[in-house]
Structure 1
Amino acid sequence: MIDNISWLAIYPEIVLLVMGCVIALVDLGVKSPRRTATYVLTMLTLALVAALQAMYASTGSTFYGFGNMVVSDAMGNWLKCFATVAVMVTLVYGRPYAADRDMMRGGEIFTLSMFALLGMFIMISGNNFLMLYLGLELLTLSSYALVALRRDNATATEAAMKYFVLGAMASGFLLYGLSMVYGATGSLDIGQVFKAVNSGQIRHQVLVFGLVFVVAGLAFKLGVVPFHMWIPDVYQGAPTAITLMIGGAPKLAAFAITIRLLVDGLLPLAIDWQQMLGVLAIGSLLVGNLAAIAQTNLKRMLAYSTISQMGFVLLGLMSGVVNGNVEAAAVENAYSASMFYVVSYVLTTLAAFGVILLLAREGFESEEIADFAGLNQRSPLYAAVMAVCLFSMAGIPPMVGFYAKLSVLQALVASGQAAYIALAVFAVIMSLIGAFYYLRVVKVMYFDAPLTATSVSAPVDVRVVLTINGALVLVLGLLPGGLMALCAEAVVRALAT
């Protein structure tokens, strides 16, 4: 018999699932080419779900449901709240773009986005291998369909095929790794896996073999080297609104599933998986920053930028356990720094792609760096928002990206290990190299002559949300303490259970 606690644990997910089905049916009767009724209903649903998640998170309580298959904790609820807000912002920015490109003949963009969000929720809440994999597949299948939404566009179709083939391979890696861990521990429950591994009575070789495949699957979802092959092609080939959908909120879910598997389940093997994450982080910082310099397409440049940014997230995740010693302060410092980094990165990405979407017109994508020439003369506000985002990604104070990078570097240096301090120095050098390609775009916006004299126009909702989004990147950089404390408290509560 299922108790009330179980239903309470997944109440927001039930609301999202039911409303996703209702909106799909309601949309059949909508005649407006911009699907106004569908859009409004979707936004109201997401606002309700975000409010529910924030309410759950603010209580700080942790409870398990359905025989420990799902967990509702502060970290998961805040990540779900942020993911919901990210999807709402994505739909606000993407709706005019999608309408101009005939991507809204049906309401698929709204229903698929809601089901992708449901997949993220299940990934974030999963406390069982099957639940995590179920959420992952729901997210990825919805993402494949979203990328291929422009059926008559050869570039988008090619991007969807690449994403599908490489995504299927990565899912196979993860599933094989999880099956190896299950074979070694005899349980699918993450808590039981932790106890079994911690007992030290399981063959270490079998576990590490499974762990390699698990880390490979997670690395694909995070988009880090050498599992980054899909990111530049999919980011560039997908319609820009969909690029933002797969490059924003899912990063929060990827971070959560990494914490659930590696920290909650396989922390006794930290000395093994931290070495793997270290290699992935070095490769991502090196390849991401160097390859981005050569790009002329802004979406492709931001794709390589994502790879280097995820390298920083891995640096935070690998600095929690030092020499096999689990110290509460070090663990909290490292994982909360990573969570803060992911949240601030998603916030910055939303605003950056929002400007790209804003400049796109019917029949014109505005995704080359040259398309931003003289933007300050055409629209000082949107040029300022884009500049703030680029400064933040480069880690220039006082933007939120600077504090995010600083918190990760502090976690590395605090370990006191020579190798970790050397990694921190390497990360700083790579950030300096990365600053070049971000500042190049700022130079083009402010000092090059504009290619067109037309002013930039946007719907009121897009203007308001984009302005708030850009302001938050700056304000959270000036006053980062609140968000950092929220991340630290959420991580502490999650790890305490």
Structure 2
Amino acid sequence: MQESNLNFALAAPEIVLLVAACGILVVDAFVKATGRALTYVLTQATFALLIVVSLLQLSNGVYGATFHGMYVVDGFSHVLKIFCYIAGMVTLVYGRAYADARDMTSRGGELYVLALLSTLGQMVMVSAGNLISIYLGLELMSLALYALVALRRDHTQSTEAAMKYFVLGALASGFLLYGMSMLYGATGSLDLSVIGTVLATGVAQDMELVLVFALVFIISGLAFKLGVVPFHMWVPDVYQGAPTPVTLLLGAAPKLAAFAITVRLLGEALPALTPHWQPMLAVLAVLSLAIGNIVAIVQTSFKRMLAYSTIAQMGFVMLGLMSGSTPESQVEAFGAALFYVVVYVMTTLGTFGLILLLSRANGFEADNIDDIKGLNRRSPWFALLLLLMMFSLAGIPPTAGFYSKLVVLQMLVASGHVALAVVAVVMSLIGAFYYLRVVKAAYFDEPVAADAQAPIEAGGTMRAVLSVNGLLALVLGILPGPLLAVCVVAAMSAFG
């Protein structure tokens, strides 16, 4: 990988996004319409332009490092950035009507600008080649998300969720920064590749205790951002308290970015410490699978149930990350984990899209399981899409979620972690209960709330995108090969 001290062409997507976000912020200041239609269109156009730029860079083989190695461009970063753009676009398509109906855009287009700035932070995280750039990207993303959670200033629950998220997020950032400082003290470098080289040559062998403590703090910070046990305490409250479009902005693309820095740190900087971090990830995975799936069973709030579902799903990601036993199998494990995260994000987008679809302009929030009852009578098509999403999250064939779980389990068994594979299967069976409970409510239960029986109102764009989203959960389960191949090649390029 060629390194240049100052090559702005490599950072073209970030520069385009930053200029566009600043421009949209200025334009929005002069927009008088309460719906912020122009701001919305410009935001979506920015995402579309970013997809084109990243695709051109990927197809033309634009790889390298710049800014003294702080910024890295490879296939891994290109692929993850494109997924982040798509997740942002889809989220705003789903959330626009909800935001307009609840005066989230009447005072300004902060929802759209903050979504762009959050994406900018994710892009910096994905391309980070240095501990400092990891931290800067993480804080840029997090600060935008803190503000988004509190966007409904007159909504007590949102304000409370924002305070919890901010306080715990600051604590987690402190953990991560402290671990990074210890890692710098032990290796004498902030550059991920240099840290990996120093540790591989055994120069810092006499600092093993310091390195293990650094690893504990770093994994604690990463675990918070991914939302795994025991750093999951913010997830249910923030998912439930935040406005539903913001919950989706929290639960989709940021997971891709957090996954990216986890791979960068563990796979590029700390492979020499694999015997230490693999057992840590195994413990986090088992706890997340157990607590996430068991506690989700007793939830009556659909959003809260999905929050605990997220905790359990991230447990599977942890299993994927720790399932490599050799450097070659480790890259394959990272590819399998990336495939799992992408499928999870796609399914999460569709599930929350249905919640936003069923929410009404009169303030009705379809965030309880009771609000899903009788959905099949109102719209058999959207009930079918909900069924596909729940089947995918549960890992039931022939959906994409089944194949993503199967790939991770195969990696576990191949690396000799048969007991962990058995635990994962058992926990998935437990988790299937609460997913199927939602399907049962949609198909076999009588509607409870009067608002839950009203006609479904949504624009044609939202209906079309939601339909494609739902069908992808089925198509990628039947034909998972191309996406899995992209994920494995992307993981390989990160260490090539």
TM-score (norm 1): 0.97
Aligned partner of 1:121 among 123, 126, 131: 123
Conserved in 2, the CA contact under 8 Å of 1:396 and 1:402? yes
1:434 partnered with 2:431? yes
Alignment correspondent of 2:202: 200
Aligned partner of 1:249 among 223, 230, 253: 253
Conserved in 1, the CA contact under 8 Å of 2:4 and 2:65? no
Cα deviation, 1:247-298, whole Å, max 9, x if unaligned, reads: 0110000100000111110010011011100000000000000000010000
Deviation at 1:448, TM superposition (A): 0.7
d(CA) in 2 for partners of 1:57 and 1:389?
30
d(CA) in 1 for partners of 2:332 and 2:79?
18
User: Which stretches in structure 2 are left out of the alignment for 5+ residues?
Assistant: none
Conserved in 2, the CA contact under 8 Å of 1:46 and 1:88? yes
Alignment correspondent of 1:177: 179
Secondary structure (helix, strand or coil) at the match of 2:495 reads helix
Aligned partner of 1:316 among 314, 317, 320: 320
Aligned partner of 1:263 among 264, 267, 289: 267
Alignment correspondent of 2:410: 410
Secondary structure (helix, strand or coil) at the match of 1:111 reads helix
Alignment correspondent of 2:446: 449
d(CA) in 1 for partners of 2:220 and 2:122?
19
Alignment correspondent of 2:374: 374
Alignment correspondent of 1:98: 99
1:63 partnered with 2:64? yes
One-letter identity of the residue aligned with 1:443: K
1:335 partnered with 2:334? yes
Aligned partner of 2:234 among 230, 237, 241: 230
Alignment correspondent of 2:144: 142
Secondary structure (helix, strand or coil) at the match of 1:10 reads helix
Conserved in 2, the CA contact under 8 Å of 1:373 and 1:446? yes
Deviation at 1:9, TM superposition (A): 1.4
Cα deviation, 1:400-435, whole Å, max 9, x if unaligned, reads: 0000000000000111x2xx1000010000000000
Alignment correspondent of 1:282: 286
Alignment correspondent of 2:18: 17
Deviation at 1:158, TM superposition (A): 0.2
Alignment correspondent of 1:393: 393
Deviation at 1:460, TM superposition (A): 1.2
d(CA) in 2 for partners of 1:277 and 1:52?
35
d(CA) in 1 for partners of 2:312 and 2:56?
34
One-letter identity of the residue aligned with 2:375: L
Conserved in 1, the CA contact under 8 Å of 2:374 and 2:443? yes
d(CA) in 2 for partners of 1:436 and 1:52?
43
Deviation at 1:363, TM superposition (A): 1.2
d(CA) in 2 for partners of 1:51 and 1:205?
46
Q: How does 1:148-163 map to 2 (within 5 A)?
A: 148-163=150-165
Cα deviation, 1:426-460, whole Å, max 9, x if unaligned, reads: 00000000000000000000001123432212011
d(CA) in 1 for partners of 2:41 and 2:461?
12
One-letter identity of the residue aligned with 1:7: F
Conserved in 2, the CA contact under 8 Å of 1:395 and 1:402? yes
Deviation at 1:160, TM superposition (A): 0.2
Secondary structure (helix, strand or coil) at the match of 2:65 reads strand
Deviation at 1:62, TM superposition (A): 2.7
Deviation at 1:56, TM superposition (A): 2.1
1:359 partnered with 2:361? no
State percent identity of aligned pairs. 57
Deviation at 1:3, TM superposition (A): 5.8
d(CA) in 1 for partners of 2:309 and 2:201?
41
d(CA) in 2 for partners of 1:152 and 1:229?
24
One-letter identity of the residue aligned with 1:230: W
One-letter identity of the residue aligned with 1:47: A
d(CA) in 2 for partners of 1:471 and 1:224?
29
Deviation at 1:60, TM superposition (A): 4.7
Conserved in 2, the CA contact under 8 Å of 1:395 and 1:401? yes
Conserved in 2, the CA contact under 8 Å of 1:5 and 1:64? no
1:29 partnered with 2:30? yes
One-letter identity of the residue aligned with 1:485: A
Deviation at 1:54, TM superposition (A): 2.2
Q: What RMSD, in angstroms, separates the aligned Cα atoms of the two structures?
A: 1.2
Cα deviation, 1:275-326, whole Å, max 9, x if unaligned, reads: 1000000000000000000100000000000000000000010011x2xxx3
1:470 partnered with 2:470? yes
One-letter identity of the residue aligned with 1:396: I
d(CA) in 1 for partners of 2:25 and 2:381?
37
Conserved in 2, the CA contact under 8 Å of 1:58 and 1:74? no
d(CA) in 2 for partners of 1:260 and 1:78?
14
Conserved in 2, the CA contact under 8 Å of 1:56 and 1:74? no
Tell me which moved more, 199-208 or 364-373. 199-208
Deviation at 1:201, TM superposition (A): 2.1
Aligned partner of 2:111 among 109, 112, 124: 109
One-letter identity of the residue aligned with 1:424: A
Cα deviation, 1:347-399, whole Å, max 9, x if unaligned, reads: 00000000000111121111000000100100111111111000000000010
Secondary structure (helix, strand or coil) at the match of 1:424 reads helix
Alignment correspondent of 2:78: 77
d(CA) in 1 for partners of 2:4 and 2:77?
21
Conserved in 2, the CA contact under 8 Å of 1:127 and 1:189? yes
Tell me which moved more, 114-123 or 361-370. 361-370
Cα deviation, 1:39-88, whole Å, max 9, x if unaligned, reads: 11110111010121122233455311111110001011100000011000
Conserved in 2, the CA contact under 8 Å of 1:180 and 1:207? yes
1:239 partnered with 2:238? no
Tell me which moved more, 62-71 or 110-119. 62-71
d(CA) in 1 for partners of 2:27 and 2:380?
40
d(CA) in 2 for partners of 1:327 and 1:252?
22
One-letter identity of the residue aligned with 2:314: M
Alignment correspondent of 2:460: 460
Secondary structure (helix, strand or coil) at the match of 2:364 reads coil
d(CA) in 1 for partners of 2:344 and 2:485?
17
Secondary structure (helix, strand or coil) at the match of 1:71 reads strand
